[in-house]
Structure 1
Amino acid sequence: MKQHLKRILQLLLIPVAAAIVFIEDTLLHYLGLAMARLAVWPPVARLERWLRGLPPWAALVAFVTPSLLVVPIKLSAVWFALHHHFALSAASIILGKMLATALVARLYQVLRPTLVTIPWYLRAETRLFAWRDRLYAFMRALPAWQQATTMVRRFRAWMRDMVFGTSAR
């Protein structure tokens, strides 16, 4: 019975986990590109130079701060839900997650050289990324992941053909 239950849970949870990993991977890629373009803007470039000069403890505070900035967005999602505006609630959560992800990813790129000078941070980061890499390898080895990747590649090629008209006619 245990093996049967385990198999059912795998069938239910693995596609969900694969979708989350795939979306997050794609989201990080495109949000990273957008944030890199924004970093060229002179006020943002000055801010990033200032952040690079922070001592390790201040860099850690700057890195953690965006998590606090998302709290009002989450509270607005709760408020929308309490007033039966579920679409606005979901949109708030999605927008907040995207903004926080983009900001934290950019801050990570800017502050990482300073943050890794903190010994416990470097150990934690190493363990976290080793765990993440094992999880990603497991997910990418799944047939569902490989099928989803193939479908996305085909969809992107189809969209590219539709937009740029590069298909052979």
Structure 2
Amino acid sequence: MPPILRKLLLWPLHLIAGLAGWLLALVIVFEEWGWEPLQRVLARIGRWPGLRWIEGAVRSLPPWGAVLVFALPSLMLLPIKLLALWTIGQGHVLLGMLIIVAAKLVGTAVLARLFTLTQPALLQLRWFAWLYGHWTRIKAVLLARVRASWPWRVGRVLKRQWRQRWQAWRAR
């Protein structure tokens, strides 16, 4: 097959792969943005007397118990997401979207905290350690690509300018 014909046939696949990569990168950036701050909030809440005991129990789970506890929030959020879709179907689009956003934030916070608590147990499972290693490498490559992009660099400049203006306004 001539190279030009091959390029012509493969360009849609390259386009789809590129778009999928950017979509995945945006999801990762959202998770990265929310993961640490939300996890810190739940860590503060976890210091409350009754919750401290629960966190200790979660930390001491065996590997398969950690898998079950880590998967539980995703299963618990499914009915809430279905409720949001039903709400949107009833014509309450804004309310449905707010429910989805709230579920995403709460779900991310809970998963981040549970992952922090169960990570040592989860990494004892060979398949999880393998998946986690591959995921962190893929995530690093995608984040490097996003951080090198023009929109990311412009966003960082705008964020820095906004922060400087905010600090100047507060200083007055």
> Partners of 1:127 and 1:144 in 2: how far apart?
27
Equivalences for 1:12-161 in 2 at 5 Å? 20-161=27-168
CA contact (8 A) 1:15 1:144 kept: no
Distance 2:100 2:60 in 1: 33
Letter in 2 for 1:58: G
**Equivalent in the alignment of 2:171:** 166
* Residues 7-46 of structure 1: CA deviation (Å, up to 9, x unaligned): 9989988887665544433222321221121111112211
Residue 19 to residue 59, structure 1, CA distance change in 2 (3 Å):
closer
Q: Which residue of 1 aligns with 2:3?
A: none
Deviation at 1:65, TM superposition (A): 0.7
Distance 2:164 2:33 in 1: 16
Residue 156 of structure 1 deviates from its aligned partner by 3.0
Task: Give the Cα separation in 2 of the matches to 1:41 and 1:79.
Answer: 36
Q: Deviations over 1:112-156 (max 9, x none)?
A: 011111111100100011100110011111122111112122223
**C-alpha contact 1:160 1:166 (8 A) present in aligned 2:** yes
TM-score by length of 2: 0.82
* Higher CA-based Rg: 2
Letter in 2 for 1:132: K
Gap regions ≥5 residues in structure 2: 1-7
CA 1:127 to 1:13, structure 2 compared with 1: closer, same or farther past 3 Å? closer
Q: How many residues align?
A: 165
Separation in 2, partners of 1:9, 1:159: 41
Paired with 2:61 and 2:15, the residues of 1 have a C-alpha distance of: 50
The alpha-carbon deviation at position 60 of structure 1 amounts to: 0.6
Q: CA RMSD in A?
A: 2.8
